[in-house]
Amino acid sequence: MTANEAIQFAKDKGARMVDLKFCDMIGTWQHFSIPIGGLTSEVFEEGLGFDGSSIRGWRGIEESDMVVKPDPATAKMDPFMEVPTVSFICDVVLPETLEAYERDPRNVLRKAVAYLKSTGVADTAYFGPEAEFFIFDDIRYDQTNNGAFYQIDSDEGIWNSGRDENGKNLGYKARHKEGYFPVLPADAQHDLRTEMSLELERAGMQVERQHHEVASGGQAEINIKFDHALAMADKMMWFKYIIRNVARRNGKTVTFMPKPLYGDNGSGMHVHMSLWKDGQNLFAGNKYAGLSEMALYYIGGVLKHAPALCAFINPTTNSYKRLVPGFEAPIKLAYSFKNRSAAMRIPNSGPNPKAKRIEFRTPDPMANIYLAQAALLMAGLDGIMNKIHPGEPLDKDIYGLSPQEAAKVPSIPGSLEESLQNLKKHGDFLKKGDVFPEDMIDTWINYKMDKEIRPIQQRPVPYEFHLYYDM
């Protein structure tokens, strides 16, 4: 869609407002709106200014002027705004030159794809993230200098099996780890997920399936069809936006936190990947599990660089509460055919070479999808360019390994701080082609340390009182 076509699209849809969305460094959509009369061809060429100093991880107040340029190809009608509103995903540029801002996540992913093409290895990278999430009925939390708490509730949570629900309790509460996937009435959120799915399809995403996930208390998954890297990342931003807003209009709340509930499964974001050239899937071959040698090298690069990758694909302190043994979150850096206990799984996709792909199961949905896909692509490319073989596959239940066997298999980092240290020491593969500028990596590390890790380290948590108060 060109700029003129986007303007005509807005008119045809009766839009009265224009919403301009862009992704901040952490991975959250920000936006502002203008009346439809302000949507001119010049806006697509010159952009509109905003204060970049108020955006996390971006410019200081002394150089705060920045510009968003709407991408006309991303035009959609926003389904949640009361007044008809056309929405655009924007690129962030510098006002002096209108050149791309190096910390704009969308720009980072675009540079990663350009670097892929420059190597001659492939012309297209396909991604298929599968983001799990929780649907809750109530969430309360607070933090003061002399107290802290959080309280989650879900009508279908097993902890409510004994609750008085207006004089009667009908049961049908999914037990811990038994939410995958009973029929109605135990699956109390089927209709809500269907509404989410239909809204996703109206926004141009092909939904492949929806279902309850393993955990009690409303864990869910809706899968959308894969796409090339930039389009898929844009779709995942819409995905989160739509899921949250459909939940809200039904009096529910959604979180993509990896581990909101203790003692039950967390939410991951399994990422399917393949490289293509001239319409051919380069990951299909005659090696292990029907993979090509290139695919094995790609796996080798991702597994080698996983300790640094985790800084982007598991980017919160909460991420590492999911990445523990025994909760279907793979922490061992091995690859295997069909095996969901391996960090890198090769799905049993059948004989069609077009379906051949790999699935990295470590990431979670708190990741900035643009940065996560860019980092995974750079790691895989490094594996291909340097012929990093992943070694022998591990075709057994990795969760059931003896301590002696498990010790021989590398693990992901045990904390966000450890992942950031790995990124700092071993992140040079991301800098090739200036895809991840050193300034951006340093800013990411410093932000995570100063705004997330240190503040959490400084605050007591309730369980410490349980352990230590009377010692």
Residues that are catalytic:
51, 130, 132, 213, 221, 270, 340, 359, 361
Cα 68 from Cα 46, distance rounded (Å)? 9
Determine the distance from the C-alpha atom of residue 248 to the mean position of all C-alpha atoms in its chain, rounded to a whole number.
20
CA distances from 368 to 29, 214, 433, 461 (A): 10, 24, 20, 27
Cα 442 from Cα 367, distance rounded (Å)? 17
Cα 252 from Cα 243, distance rounded (Å)? 10
DSSP string across 70-97: E-GGG-EE-SS-SS-EEEEEEEEE-TTT
> Which run of H or E residues covers position 212?
strand 207-212
Cα 456 from Cα 102, distance rounded (Å)? 29
Cα 376 from Cα 271, distance rounded (Å)? 9
Q: Which amino acid type is present at position 428?
A: D
Question: How many helices (H) does the chain have, and how many strands (E)?
Answer: 13, 18
Assigned token pair, 265: 């499964």
Determine the distance from the C-alpha atom of residue 36 to the mean position of all C-alpha atoms in its chain, rounded to a whole number.
32
